[in-house]
Structure 1
Amino acid sequence: MALPRTSLRGFLTHAKYTLQVAALSKSPVTFVVGNESADLDSICSTILYSYIASISPRSSRTSQVFHIPLLNLPKADIGLRPELLALLPKANITRDHLITLDDLGDANSLDARFSPANTRWILVDHNSLQGRLGQLYGDRVVGTIDHHVDEGTVLQDTQDEPRVITTCGSCTSLVANYLQHSWDLWSLYVSFSGAANGQGDNIIEDGAFATLWDAQVAQFALGAILIDTVNLNDEHKTAQQDREAAKYLEARIKMSPKIGKSYDRAALYDEIARAKQSLDNLTVRDILRKDYKQWTENSLSLGISSVVKPYSYLETKAQDQGNGDLLIESQQFVEDKKLDITSVLTAFTSTDGTFQRELSLLSRDERGKQVIERFCSDASKQLRLSGERRRESQDWLHVIWNQGDLAASRKQVAPLLRKAMAAIQ
């Protein structure tokens, strides 16, 4: 039996309440969580999966499982994601509706409120739980939907939960495709009893409002897919799964008379893309942590920041902030994050209209330097690195390249760096 229909706004309101009850009563809870970069794809994947999976009918269970959509970032970092803030109104939600790491309480006593034995975790946009959550709950992962390299940490047999790991442009595409049947089945449960108000936080069943709610969620999910695939136009990033998901979501959007009439894919993409490119109000440190992921390999810590502006933009911003030297700012970032190696991957369109990538590495000790040299030796040809700029200062080594392989994003670069880390003594 499906749970009563509600808007995404109503669902998130109920999810916050459910989380608070679980913390107080020590009751079982199922989390859905994206990766540590908490980019638009991770966030949309998390929310979409939780929403549909919580309320759609389940054929193999007698009762529903409520899924808590946990965003893998502190609440303060939501403001670093203008593209998310631009997309939230499409689903009639605000940042206050989102559940972040802050809602779990003090990280030092996390396992006292949410005992590992009482939790289940479904990963989206990653397949290996990292950081503090990974330390406490890594062996409580029961499923994953991801488009990165399979790290082999999720069991092959996940029973009723998903284990979908395949390459495509956007993880949200995989989530939408996986849930398509459930979403369609869910729609059959809508009653046409009428409703007085469909925009609040109340649970109401009504066909007209259901199509509106579906369209809001579909537009929210589609925004992430369009950003990751450059409006489905980037042949290096767009796969058949992305096109299929976009087609399905657009059909959902067009079923709503209120939203479907004014829907325009190009306009939606342009609005979100412009917001994502807007970094002027952020500091260098904000930009470095805006789209950031971290790994540990061979007792070494690696952090990678993805940036949508050229490296020269960061250098100019560091000067404008009064720091003078971007290297000093980067060194402070490494020390604050307790990293051995940090990388900045830039992806941008130049003034002549061509898409370009840069790759930089910074290490602060001898082992880190060995990783850089090993990576340079092993990966330069594959990534078509050129124009090396090298700078050494005391124990630090900083290297910047132009990256000729325009298809290689963090999904491809991170495994190469981790391989180099694993290879050194």
Structure 2
Amino acid sequence: MSVRSYLINLKNAINQKTIKLPYTFVTGNQSADVDSVISSITYAYLTHNLKTPQQYIIPLINVPKADLKLRRDIIRVLETYHNITEDLLYFVEDFDNFISESINSKVLQKTELSLVDHNGLQGVEINKSYDEGYLKVVGIIDHHADEGKFLNASPRIIRSCGSNSSLVFQYFYNLKQNNEQFWVDNKDVIELLIAPLLIDTSNMTQKVEEPDLEVFDIYKKILSVTKSQIIASQIPTQSNTNQVDLFYKEIKKAKKDLSGFAFIDILRKDYKQFKFLKGDNIGFSSIGKPLKWVVESYTKEEILKTLSDSLKLNRIDLLVITSSYTVKDTNEYRREFCYYYEGINAVYEILDDLVETQLSLNNQVYGGDEIDPVLEYVNSASIDNVGHFKIYNQVNIHASRKQVVPIVKEALEK
């Protein structure tokens, strides 16, 4: 059974009401990047095929359906290569409807949820259902820092590696030792899993750890044996570029394509939200462009409105923007740390001082001459002058959002 066939059968079973309530879900984190989405889909598929054939698990994409269009790399992988279209996928609106269906049916059991690519609950809808007692976490496979939650989950696999998809594959591969024929017969799951591995490790050149190396060797072997049309082999083409490189470049190009997006789309494209110990609701947006590009691409009025609207729409107190980019002229890789809040907040006012040492912040912002006038406008022209926008160059380029979130959390919870 192909992954697409599984999703079709799942859709039919849901429509025909042949699945016993409550439904079972697996979801990735709130950024809903290619790693989270494909980890969720393959976890559901492999559970059904290798662990509990009688069980259908719904892979949930932890964003509204409207946000899928912002993830062109995911659309490229799913639709172009696997004919997995939007109507076969499930989003937070669907989750709300499924939970309501269980509540209205007076089902006594809690809805079961497995987490991939994170190990603490993310998203308003999921947190609400958990807080109201309708949800329990039963499994975790993740490569982020362990938050120490859901200790009875099984599996509970949390370890560092480049791509979470590597851990998902390892878990199911080890469930059925010497079952190479399954993977050969179902090579489409490998063709899905290799996409996040390549994206998350920059084509196996960065953040690569033992699980990534192990699964990559298995992927290449299976795809070579099956003569995969996506990445047939490691044999160089006439342009001295092998098939893996070509596939990676295609998906990366789709991921970086921001053409036609409004600034609000840029902020929502890779977004996570957390509630910290003292009640702070904080949004974290990662963008693959410098703030110089933002001020060149959008008017100062749109930037101000978007920042203010982001707080209201997401019901957050603070928006943190982490940017990463390469300066074309020098080929220098750089990062920026920025944040916006409104009103008077003594801690937010000095947040830059609190994280300065760990992130190595300074004022040498790329394109500062172009940014400064926009920064001044946002900080002076906001309604009743309540907006505060700060932008810094982040010298510690090794601190991605994965590291920035706990640093900000520690600062705010002191």
Q: TM-score, normalised on structure 2?
A: 0.85
2:359 matched residue in structure 1: 383
2:39·2:168 contact (CA, 8 Å) conserved in 1?
yes
Residue from 318, 328, 334 that aligns with 2:298: 318
In the alignment, residue 340 of structure 1 is paired with which amino acid? D
Measure, in 1, the Cα distance between the counterparts of 2:279 and 2:96: 28
User: Is 2:43 the counterpart of 1:49?
Assistant: yes
Measure, in 2, the Cα distance between the counterparts of 1:288 and 1:246: 32
- Aligned positions, number: 382
Residue from 327, 338, 344 that aligns with 2:304: 327
Superimposed CA distance per residue, residues 5-24 of structure 1 (whole angstroms, 9 cap, x where no aligned partner): x00110011122334455x8
Q: Any idea what SS the aligned residue of 2:297 has?
A: helix
1:309·1:347 contact (CA, 8 Å) conserved in 2?
yes
2:239 matched residue in structure 1: none
CA spacing shift, 1:102–1:328, aligned 2, 3 Å: closer
1:228 matched residue in structure 2: 200
CA spacing shift, 1:409–1:253, aligned 2, 3 Å: same
Deviation at 1:41, TM superposition (A): 0.9
In the alignment, residue 181 of structure 1 is paired with which amino acid? N
Measure, in 2, the Cα distance between the counterparts of 1:417 and 1:68: 33
1:249 matched residue in structure 2: 219
Q: Any idea what SS the aligned residue of 1:406 has?
A: coil
Deviation at 1:42, TM superposition (A): 0.5
CA spacing shift, 1:372–1:147, aligned 2, 3 Å: farther
User: Is 2:400 the counterpart of 1:409?
Assistant: yes
1:194 matched residue in structure 2: none
Measure, in 2, the Cα distance between the counterparts of 1:113 and 1:289: 32
Q: For structure 1, which segment, 351-360 or 392-401, has the greater mean C-alpha deviation from structure 2 after superposition? A: 392-401
CA spacing shift, 1:14–1:77, aligned 2, 3 Å: same
Long gaps (5+) in structure 1 = 1-5, 191-209
1:66 matched residue in structure 2: 56
Measure, in 1, the Cα distance between the counterparts of 2:275 and 2:102: 22
Instruction: Give the % identical residues.
Output: 31
1:362·1:396 contact (CA, 8 Å) conserved in 2?
yes
In the alignment, residue 113 of structure 2 is paired with which amino acid? W
In the alignment, residue 121 of structure 1 is paired with which amino acid? L
2:4 matched residue in structure 1: 9
User: Is 2:109 the counterpart of 1:133?
Assistant: no
Measure, in 2, the Cα distance between the counterparts of 1:231 and 1:334: 35
Deviation at 1:110, TM superposition (A): 6.0
Measure, in 2, the Cα distance between the counterparts of 1:99 and 1:168: 27
User: Is 2:85 the counterpart of 1:85?
Assistant: no
2:367 matched residue in structure 1: none
CA spacing shift, 1:80–1:51, aligned 2, 3 Å: same
Measure, in 2, the Cα distance between the counterparts of 1:153 and 1:57: 24
2:148 matched residue in structure 1: 152
1:315·1:325 contact (CA, 8 Å) conserved in 2?
no
Q: For structure 1, which segment, 129-138 or 29-38, has the greater mean C-alpha deviation from structure 2 after superposition? A: 129-138
Deviation at 1:86, TM superposition (A): 1.4
Deviation at 1:326, TM superposition (A): 1.7
In the alignment, residue 112 of structure 2 is paired with which amino acid? R
Q: Any idea what SS the aligned residue of 2:356 has?
A: helix
Superimposed CA distance per residue, residues 198-228 of structure 1 (whole angstroms, 9 cap, x where no aligned partner): xxxxxxxxxxxx73632x2212111111111
User: Is 2:265 the counterpart of 1:290?
Assistant: no
1:201 matched residue in structure 2: none
Measure, in 2, the Cα distance between the counterparts of 1:409 and 1:105: 31
1:384·1:405 contact (CA, 8 Å) conserved in 2?
yes
Q: For structure 1, which segment, 283-292 or 48-57, has the greater mean C-alpha deviation from structure 2 after superposition? A: 48-57
Deviation at 1:184, TM superposition (A): 5.3
**Coordinate RMSD, CA, aligned:** 2.5
CA spacing shift, 1:11–1:184, aligned 2, 3 Å: farther
Residue from 276, 279, 304 that aligns with 2:284: 304
User: Is 2:336 the counterpart of 1:358?
Assistant: yes
CA spacing shift, 1:74–1:387, aligned 2, 3 Å: same
Residue from 267, 273, 279 that aligns with 2:252: 273
Q: For structure 1, which segment, 43-52 or 11-20, has the greater mean C-alpha deviation from structure 2 after superposition? A: 11-20
Q: TM-score, normalised on structure 1?
A: 0.82
1:203 matched residue in structure 2: none
Long gaps (5+) in structure 2 = 235-242, 365-371
Superimposed CA distance per residue, residues 259-315 of structure 1 (whole angstroms, 9 cap, x where no aligned partner): 353671111110011111100121111111111011112122100111111112222
2:237 matched residue in structure 1: none
Deviation at 1:258, TM superposition (A): 4.3
In the alignment, residue 408 of structure 2 is paired with which amino acid? L
Superimposed CA distance per residue, residues 216-251 of structure 1 (whole angstroms, 9 cap, x where no aligned partner): 2212111111111111112xx222222222222222
1:126·1:147 contact (CA, 8 Å) conserved in 2?
yes
Superimposed CA distance per residue, residues 30-82 of structure 1 (whole angstroms, 9 cap, x where no aligned partner): 21111111111110110111111111146xxxx64322211112222111101
Measure, in 2, the Cα distance between the counterparts of 1:290 and 1:116: 37
More contact order relative to length (CA 8 Å, sep ≥ 6): 1
CA spacing shift, 1:179–1:372, aligned 2, 3 Å: farther
2:368 matched residue in structure 1: none
CA spacing shift, 1:11–1:108, aligned 2, 3 Å: closer
1:101 matched residue in structure 2: 92
Deviation at 1:362, TM superposition (A): 0.7
